[in-house]
Amino acid sequence: MEESNLSEAVESSAASTSGSSRKKLSMPVRYLINAVLVAVFIVVGELMIGSGTITRYQTTVLEQVGIYILMAVSLNIATGYLGQLPLGHAGFMSVGGYSCALFIMHMQGTLGLTVRDFVTGSPAAVVLFCAGLLFGGVMAAICGLIIGIPALRLKGDYLAIITLGFAEIIRVVMLNIDGVLGFELTGGARGLTGIPSYTNFLNTFLVVVISLFLIHTMMKSRHGRAILAIRDNEIAAEASGVHTTYYKTLAFVVSAFFAGIAGGLYAGCIGVMAPAKFGFMKSIEILVMVVLGGMGSMLGSVLSATVLTILPEALRAFADYRMVVYAVVLIIVMIFRPQGLLGTYDFSLTGTLERVINGELPWRKPKKEVDEND
């Protein structure tokens, strides 16, 4: 009996020793690996575009992939992480797009910049581009704050209806504000034209990568944990001292801010901003990307936004049937994977490398592995 107890103690001690000796990558090494991969992706993309391997049309599609990735991940903050159901995300996108485009167009004339300056990436054009995106994001965030304070008092279907109503109000304002002001601002139904082509593959994916990093960092912080606690159980979170009203509004405003930045990129990519582009179906399209990828999964939003942006373009040759195929794919996924492609799972490359280094199965986490390592 004593010998068996002794052997169990030895095995337990060995297990704890092996667990404590697991090799782990330091945070600087993690960031360096991810930065190198991002740099490789952008450099390879730029080389393929410069050599003509990727055509101008395909480049535009890739830019839109980046824009919709940012839209899906930003909506995931309010839908997947916070657990609410807003249906007015296209409204924030339009506010950011119009604000960014008008700011850049006005300052372009004041600074004397030409289209060539944006193409070559002159310092003044880069600064104006960054300032325009921030201005568009801030304007969308202000709208998100104004809408979020009353809207977040509601839940479920009621929240969806009121946010949809606000999005329609924004669209109608963009449509009719010129007649109220007495001078041309948004272009009305004709749309805002003459927007310089300040969006390209390089700055689109740089903005997307920085935005995803900021969102990921926020969700791993104390504020992100509070937002997730509200999603899991709002009553318990409030009883534990979480200021639920503050954090719900914060998540909604941050979501609107990044949607505004995506709208600014969209304006420079398309070149024309028209209210008809930001109707009810645009919000539904973005929500489908979030639900399909998995609510609460950043990687899921990235994958679904990529697939659902490229798929309609890839099926353009089958013009009569491509939307049918698009709908069938969505229905099949919802039947066999109702929680989305990835559910709440988020892939970590550096975490996978750690498991490979320690001789573990790369697709299976150790039982005692701490989630914050990802």
The pLDDT value recorded for residue 372 is 45
Binned average pLDDT, 10 residues per bin, the chain of 374 residues: 46 46 72 84 91 90 94 92 88 93 89 82 89 95 90 81 88 88 84 88 93 91 92 89 90 94 94 88 88 86 89 74 73 80 67 66 52 45
**b/e per residue 288-308 (b: at least 16 CB within 10 A):** bbbbbbbbbbbbbbbbbbbbb
Q: Summarize pLDDT for 337-353 with one digit per residue, the tens.
A: 777 777 766 666 666 66
> For residues 126 and 136, what is the distance between their CA atoms, to the nearest angstrom?
15
The pLDDT value recorded for residue 364 is 57
CB 186 within 8 A of CB 94: no
Domain ranges of the chain: 27-363
Structure-token match 């939003």, residue found: 301
Q: 27-363 has which fold?
A: ABC transporter involved in vitamin B12 uptake, BtuC (1.10.3470)
The pLDDT value recorded for residue 354 is 66
> For residues 231 and 248, what is the distance between their CA atoms, to the nearest angstrom?
10
Q: Summarize pLDDT for 48-105 with one digit per residue, the tens.
A: 998 989 899 999 999 999 999 999 999 999 998 988 888 889 999 999 999 999 999 9
CB 156 within 8 A of CB 268: no
